[in-house]
Homo-oligomer: A and B are copies of this chain.
Amino acid sequence: MRCERSWLLISLLGVACAACSHGAAGTSATETGPLATLRESVLASSQALETVRSLTDEAGPRLSGSPGNQVGIAWAVRALGEAGFSRVHTELCAVPHWERGVEEGAIVEPSAQPLALAALGGSVGTAPEGLTAEVIEAASLEALDKLDPAAVKGKVVFFSGVMERTRDGSGYGAAVRPRGSGASHAAKLGAAAMLIRSVGTDDNRAPHTGALRYDDAVPKIPAAALAIPDADVLHRLLAQGKRVRVHLKLGARTLPDAEGANVVGDVEGSAAPGEIVLLGAHLDSWDLGRGALDDGAGVAIVMEAGRQIGKLAHHPRRTVRVVLFANEENGLRGATAYAAAHAAELDKHVLAIEADLGDGRVYEARFLGDPASAPAFRVVAAAAAPLGVLASGDDAHGGSDLIPLVAAGVPAMDLRQDATHYFDFHHTANDTFERVHKADLDQAAAAFAAAAYAAADAPGDFGRVPADKRHRD
């Protein structure tokens, strides 16, 4: 306990020092030491952007089970090796294999015109000839549940709720519920199919796909996301009291599981190599775009953070491990497999941080761990303070791929990225290299590098996540 207190004192001095230049976008000219070197080296490099380019040009989309996913795995092994990581290896796992197939949509009444849509991940297809049915609109799951089942039966349920644009991406959580469970809600009422207004904030003709979850107790019905301008045409026509019928043809299908892999590389710790600070991102992506923001940018951020730490003359005490997870988008099989394969050493995982919000600048750090470790967390956050990162509370989310680790008690840190524009492109064909902004990506990579170093070099650890905070929706 005494030991921990003296560490706290040192740590708090560190906070005060780092806070001198707090809020600046760059680093202080007077600051020295490995943290300053790290931040400056990341900001001066073009490697993070080049990583996104290389991944997206060479592998392209990387949906679990697709050829691009395999190309991505081979790319990651090569790229981690070239970046100087140790013990680069794959950890195989079975992943879902869902294919989109052909898809067509059209309004057929009141007059015919095409609809831009994309099946939701995991959706069943329609019959080969498609289906044609009247549309009934509901703003939300709750609004649907209030409708007379007789009015819904045989129709295409159209969820028209609008996602709000926010810096922290909170509009997504609020709007995404019909995507996840709307098909089964609609099927319970006898609907023939389900459409949603894409969960996004743009007005491009680019539908936002994303995974759904079927309730096994009701029939599986086809489900797709409409591009926002197309959803808005339906909404306007229906608002005028017009009878609207649509035709849908979806070739989506689920095949037997395929082989996927987490790709892992280490920057070996200098004093306690068996203790691990994990930096995670996911290598898979949806099929429509090229997975540049989601999650090529995250891959680039954690790889660049690890690469720059590895280049330091003296490595931090603990190992910094980069894990490029399989199958974040539609199954979390990679996250589950990692936690299972490393179950025996999870108690040596002292902190995990995930990058999965594109190229957004990091504006805030928050924590999930032993509340007694909050001061230690603040020291880690302070390492990124010269980049404009504020330390906040102990309510970290952790990220999807960290769910099984947090469930096992591994502390997590959120380096929260600005998501103001992320949901303009997320899960769409527009998620390409062109969307990635170098300066923002570099700031995020610098923040991850500094925080990872500080955590890996910290004298103490961060305890364990209390049992009552280990599970979340």
A442 to nearest B CB, angstroms?
20
Flag if A205 contacts B432 (CB, 8 Å): yes
Once the chains are docked, how many angstroms separate the CA of A139 from the CA of B68? 29
Once the chains are docked, how many angstroms separate the CA of A193 from the CA of B201? 37
Which stretch, A1-9, A58-66, A77-85, A456-464, touches the partner chain B?
A58-66
Q: Which chain B positions have C-beta within 8 A of A228?
A: 434
Q: Which chain B positions have C-beta within 8 A of A206?
A: 204-206
Flag if A205 contacts B113 (CB, 8 Å): no
Q: Which chain B positions have C-beta within 8 A of A215?
A: none
Question: Which bucket holds chain A's interface residue count?
Answer: 35 or more
Q: Which chain B positions have C-beta within 8 A of A429?
A: 116, 205
Closest to A106 in B: B60
A57 close to chain B: CB less than 8 A: yes
Q: Which chain B positions have C-beta within 8 A of A428?
A: 205
A81 to nearest B CB, angstroms?
18
Flag if A68 contacts B112 (CB, 8 Å): yes
Flag if B205 contacts A61 (CB, 8 Å): no
Contact of A113 among B61, B111, B112, B434 (CB under 8 A): B61
Contact of A57 among B56, B58, B59, B237 (CB under 8 A): B237
Flag if A111 contacts B237 (CB, 8 Å): no
Contact of A233 among B57, B67, B435 (CB under 8 A): B57
A135 to nearest B CB, angstroms?
14
A229 close to chain B: CB less than 8 A: yes
Q: Which chain B positions have C-beta within 8 A of A232?
A: 433-434
Q: A205-B289, A206-B204, A236-B57 are in contact. Are A229 and B113 (CB under 8 A)?
A: no
A185 close to chain B: CB less than 8 A: no
A145 close to chain B: CB less than 8 A: no
A419-452 residues with Cβ-Cβ distance < 8 A to B are 428-430, 432-435
A17 to nearest B CB, angstroms?
42
Flag if B229 contacts A61 (CB, 8 Å): no
A230-244 residues with Cβ-Cβ distance < 8 A to B are 232-233, 236-237
Q: Which chain B positions have C-beta within 8 A of A435?
A: 203
- A interface residue numbers (CB < 8 A to B): 53, 56-61, 67-68, 71, 107, 110-114, 116, 203-206, 228-229, 232-233, 236-237, 289-290, 428-430, 432-435
Contacts A204-B430, A205-B428 known; 10 new A-B pairs at CB < 8 A: A57-B237, A60-B107, A60-B111, A67-B111, A67-B112, A68-B112, A71-B112, A116-B429, A205-B289, A229-B433
14 contacting pairs across A/B (C-beta < 8 A): A58-B110, A58-B111, A59-B111, A61-B114, A67-B112, A68-B111, A68-B113, A205-B428, A205-B429, A205-B430, A206-B206, A229-B290, A229-B430, A229-B433
